[in-house]
Structure 1
Amino acid sequence: MAFFRMCNGLPGLFIGMITVLLLCVYLAHGQETLATRMRVISEDLDRQLNEMMASQAVNYSTVNTTGLPYNASMKFWPKGMGQLYNVTNMFIDFVQGKQAYPEGMISLDNGYLQFADPVKEWKIILSHYGGLAGLGLAGLLLAAILPCVGLFFCCCRCAGNCGARSEPFDKKHDHCKKIILSTILICVATVILFGVVCSFVTNEYMHDGTRKLPDNTKVSLKDLRLYLATTKREIDTLLKINFNELEMTLNNILQASGRIVTERLAEYSHAVSLMNLNDIVAGLDAIRQDLKLMNKITQDLRANASELDIVVRGVKKSLLHTLASCDTHTCKEVLQQYKVNEMSVQVDFDKLPDVTHALRNITQLMEDNIVYEVSQGRDSFLRIQKDIQHAVNQTIPVVSASIRRAGDSLEAAARNMTAILDMINSNITNSYIPSLDVARNHIDQYAPYRHYLGLGISGILLTVLTCITFGLFCGICGKRPDGYGDDCCNKGSGARFLMMAVWIIFLLTSILMIVTVAHMITGVAVQRGVCEPLQNPNDNRMFKLLDKFVNLKSKLYPNNPRANINMSYVVSACHANRTLYKVLMFENLINVNSLRDYVERYDINKTIQQLRQKIIFSPGIVIFSERARGKLNDLAQSGLSDIKFYQYAEVLRENITNINLHHLASKLREVSAKLPRGYEDTKDSLEKNAHDLDHYHKDLVMPMASLGEQLSENALTLQEHIRFNHSSMAEAIHALVNEVTQAQEFLNKDGPEYVQLLASRFGEAFLSQVDDFLEHVIDSALNNVGKCGPVSNAYNATLVSGCNKILDPFNGFWMSVGWCLVLFIPTIILCVKLSALYQKSDPYPGPLVEAEYLYDAYADRDNIPLAHVHDKKYVAHSRHHPAPATFPETYEGPAGSYSERERITDAHQGSSHNDSRYADVAPKNWDFPNGGPPRYQPPAAAPPLSNEYERPPPYYYPGPGERN
């Protein structure tokens, strides 16, 4: 029994356990379902708010910086002097290091420059400036020695040495010497020619660049002013205008917060269907008026159709009788063609839908205040928006004040930054540009003198080159000198031109060398002390000294001792096209990264929390009463949805009559006109029937067709209007009623929780607008506002105007003059050598004559060379009477040899006179004074000396001829 009782109790226990288990599962499932539903709600809410905030996103104003008229140009065209400039810079790098001064030689102490003791640091100074100093001292030493050498050379020439006097005929290898020396001198002159051309050109380029320097610099300063003005506008736009735009948007969102919350609530809860129902009942009056009009038109059409049918029957009867009595072909043709016997009204207007029942029901519903009942629910829902907005309005001033405090902070930072820009702009306008006008006046006044000095130096070089050129031209192409009657451009003239170049070099090279050394030292000093630091500010001692001397920190941030800014950083950052915030280190005024703390710093987050607490919703709202539900159900059953509006189009598609009355009338008149005589009665009947048909067509058919078209259009329009995106009005009403019923249940059950979630998401979306603006400010300040590219362009354009267009030609000028002066040294030697060779009047006579000429028994007698008569007439005569190739040789002993030497000497003396050119070149014995020197007495066995002229064997006279 106990077992059975236990068995009987087990099912109850089992059932209880199953019940508890199912209840737990149901509760867990319910919790899961609630959590899932809230997660879905949250996701949908985030999506909706993101869409809403995207529509409320602020389109921040920007400053258009493209196409601004920046005119500074970095273009530099060396105009053929590029290689010269490159070689000059390489030479400067070879003789002088990149740094302007040795490490520790110059320092800055309390704004004053301190120089190291040169006596103690002479080794460092010597090692740093040794190349340039040695080159300068070498030039000055050459300038000091060259006049002394010139004076010694002049004295040597006056004494008959140093090429002043030489043998009258060429030596054995003089011809080769002339060729080699002339070739070398041509090469040297060619190099000098390049130097002369470069000196003239660089002097002009330097003068042109100097004259244009103030204008080019002014263009760069104007570009800088334009950049500062544009950047000031960008800062004001970013920190003032953009924030005002944000503030306006946020205030608009706050003012519309109640509407926004209500719209989101209506959209999610489907309470928006209540608005659609309200729209339906609000349009019932318009539907009723359309139905009344359609009913009236239908009644008029039916009445007119009855009248038309009566008159058409009368006309048909009359026409049939008239046409039957007419036996003509035309009458029968009309009767058969137009089928007069079938003429009738073919539209059955009784088939048009009857809207009387629906019109009566709608009128009854409107009289029962269906519009008021439905609008009551809408007003109840909109009251939620008013209550929320009223509560929010109490917090709006607090939120607006917090936002305004953040805006005031940004405006203060903007004023501080623009004040720095205004200070720089004021210095440019009031100091730098007027200084350029003063500089232009000084340049216009004094620059021509330097230009003329360069022209004078280049002119001296050109004069020397001209003398060398003419000397080479005459020496190579001219004839030998011949005393009297010579050509103007013979070799003697070439020798004199070359010596003129030598004397000019001796006289003026010292002055040119001193000027060149001064130019060189100046050019190298400016290159290393000005242009090199400005072009490459990093790792340059001079620019570091400039950093300490200018001290930007004290000028820009006098109240911030932690600011670390200098000129080299500004220039480098500007060349990297960074923004002005980074270039001038505006983080010392406002740290843009700290803007992210503004939400907490100015209690914006706290005030938004207060705003969330104001957005509340109380359950128990009624947005859809039972009376409104009943009246809407009556509206759905009113018969309006049962009206077949498409039948209007189908019925009215056909013509009202099966025969066009107007065409038939025209045909009847045509037939009447064709009837012959004797058919007057038929004609009158046809005319009358035609008139009646025209009258019925105009007064009945046409108005009925117009009314039918209007009725068809109204029916189709009303059909689309009452569907409300459903197949029918009844289906739309039932669907909307169900949605509104569900919305009311949602509002009363989950509405408060949803509104709280909506308020939280709304606050987050509101704060995201602020955060987006702050990120916009940070990104613009770091990456966009005031990009320093235009300043870098103006800076580089100024360097091009000063260094490339002035200093490069300046250095090229002294380089060109310097290599000419260096080449003057070998030029002197070559010119003196060639001058001595060009002065010789006779070619190489042979080794015997040269050896005899070199022997002289009388040391106190001048060595006069053998003369060769080369008068033009004698040359012409010698072509017809050539001299014998050989002469008889006799031996007269020592006396004969001595006598021959005397005759040769006298012959050479006589060759200098024009009247003895054709005399016998060998003098007679009696020509010697006192009978000549004591003669050698031969032995008694020797034959007596002959009185006739006999040339001794060692001498050979080739006779006159061409000699070049």
Structure 2
Amino acid sequence: MRFGVLFDIHVMYILFRKLWIILIMSANAAMSETSSSTMLQLKESVGFSYSATNLFLDLIRGERAITVAFNSYMDVMSSSDSRVSFRSVEPIVVSYVGFGICVVLGLLFAILMPLAGLVFCCARCCGKCGGRVQLMDSKKDPCKRTAYTICVLLIVTVQLVAVVLAFINNFLLHEALVNPDPKIGALSQLNLSILETEQALREMFKMSMNTSSVNLDDQKTRFMSLVDGGLREFQSEFIRKSNANLVLNPIGELQNTVRDFSVNSEDPTLLKHFSDSFVQLSHKLPSIREDLISTLDSNCRLELHLRCSKLMHLAQTKLELRFKVDQFQFEEASVFIDQLQRHQNELENLNEFNTTLNGLADVVNRAIVNDLDRAWTDLANSPSTREKLARSFEQYLNQIYHFLGNLQVQLHELSVHSNPSFLKLVEFSLYGGIALLCVPILILLLIYLGLCFGICGRRPYEEAGVCNRGVGANLLLAGVGFVFLFSTLLMVFCTILFIFGGPLQTEACRYLTGRVPDGPKKLDDYVHNSLQLLIENIRRNTKLRQQQQQQQGHGQMNGSTSVYSDTHSLELALNISRARLTDAILTRCRNEPFVDAISGGQLTWPVLYEPIQAILEELINSFKGVNLIAPLSQTVQLCTDMLNRVDFVASANFSITTKQMGLPLTYIDDLQGYLIELRSLQIPQLDAPIAALMQQVVSLDRLREQTRNVYAKLDSIPGLRLHLQQQFSMFNEHLATAVKITMDVGLKKLRPLLERELQLAVIATWRDIPCYSLHVAAKRSVDAVCVTTLMPLNAFWAGLGLALWLFIPLIIFAVKLASLYRKTEKYSSDYEEPDYISYQGFYMRPSSDYQVAPQKSRNKNRQHKGYSLVPQPC
């Protein structure tokens, strides 16, 4: 135990020595400058406190997005209900429950600690809480004394480390505000960052006017492919607007019908087979009928006579062909099919109309390709055009320079060399922090002295010797008293700093510094979503107010102009947020050029519209000058001539034959049923006539429906030709109107595409412009605020807060240890024997006037074997 105590004392000596050095440096801060290397080493030595503080803040804040709480806040503010439900504010509560708990605990600590001290003092005055001391050690007291001493040593050592870190961070915060070295001072870092930002922007602007060295072949290929895609969409739009499908569909139907009658196709073969079979049937059917009748007349049994007579009568009257051979127009159909086969190629040439329609995009592309190449060359290689485009940003750059200049002037006015009030405030914060931290240092010093006296002193009332354990107990209680006195002041100050520095770290700096993965990108998304939600909320509320005023008869809102201006400024900020500038500058500019860093090079700026306006108008005029009517009119005329050359189609008429094919070949409607009745007679001599009828008549009757479809196709060809001629005529009449309408619609869609691609062409020429210097300047400004200034501030309240919260277990152990230090006599086994009084207890006991309370007799109420219980005096 003595070795551990000596080790802790050595640690305490080192910490106090460092603290003393810091105090000397702080005292001489206004008179002499501390070397930068020493300050940087001091800053690195407390770096672990920054990490610990950030871990604590991340723990209590969590990873919920900022927009979750912001959305809930906007919903609550825009709600018409006066009562707010917990569900509506639940995201806010969940997001900041950690901060709320810490603030509440800090306030409870500040309120309850002095009350607890008052109760503690009253209790000790009444003899409670160690106020009435037992002068003799119990058997376990030495062990307790050792354990409590070690616990107090550990707690006080941790507190001392925390307070020393708070001292160091207080000094670093002071140096961040006053030191002129950019490596240490935050204001000097910001000033240097402004100068570097101006220089980086000027270099980028100068490079944007120089000739580009970027290979733009891939960009040009992409540009041409996108333009071609836009023209393909224009072509599809023209087909829809002109109702070209009303022409294309009849062309396809006519061509498909004619293809069905090409050489060696199925339909002509079927028609020829049916014709030959029908001619043969017309010759064979009379003999088959005579055989059937004679067989029924001579071979029918007596019991079947009535049935045979009925069947024989049907054969005599109805078993004959319904139509003659010439009624089916076999010759006319054969001649018509031969003519179709000879003119099939001419009908196939009707595809020229479809080819012309699908080639409209190529026609437009060929008409404007030279202008596109000239525009691309002008944008990519013309120094005058590049300078003109770069000059379009000059106005905005001047505004940025003006803003940076004003910011630099304000920083100069805020510096300690130009603003005595700010210097006084900084010095007051430094020495006020030192004075505030001296309170816990005094408390810890009292505790350490109490431990030293308590460890080296054997008993509190020795007449000789320097170490006195009773003095140690008094020092411990003195430290406890100071804790009760100053805890409220310390905790209130710590809580105020926590409320200021904690949210700033969790809501902004941890994203800007990249502590959160993809932090700058997430912050850009949060800002963009919040602005979008804010604009939507303003518009919704404005619309609701206008509706309410209109219902009340007050007309339009008088403040619509101001609302519009506010929304316009927010929309401007929203458009800027789409560029993801934070992520681009703080992350992507480290390894990528500025164009690729901002949205992958696919971002366009409205400011570029004016410089490319002349080039854009030339392309639009070239597009308008394309003559689409001429090729389409020529194609329509060509197709009409083709249809006129097949005028033989108009004379074809197979409608009667088609209707006749819908009837059975014989007058017996159900010939197959008739044959079934013949089989049911079970006359063997009827097998041959039945087989002949099945083979000749029934099989041919089954082909009748298919042959009817062939005649229907032949009969539809004249109607298809006439319908197609009418559609060509209507298409040609409305062609000019359709072209004009489609041109207007196409320009509305193609103009933004050309504008965007021309801007991207300009931007592509700036891919050789680096932005690493801009990244360094922005990173320096972020470090100045979030690292150089905010980190010491957060580490200050973290160290002070840790020391304050450790006062709670320290009070408990210190009070118990003080009671143990006041024990007068060591534990002895002789006290266990009855009627035995210790020599030291009898002769070396303190005088009665020093005794706080009369001690009870040492006689033990113990019952031994053979003895009766002796009453003890009260």
Scaled to the shorter chain, the TM-score interval is 0.3 to 0.5
User: TM-score normalized by structure 2?
Assistant: 0.40
Higher CA-based Rg:
1
Higher relative contact order (CA 8 A, sep 6+): 2
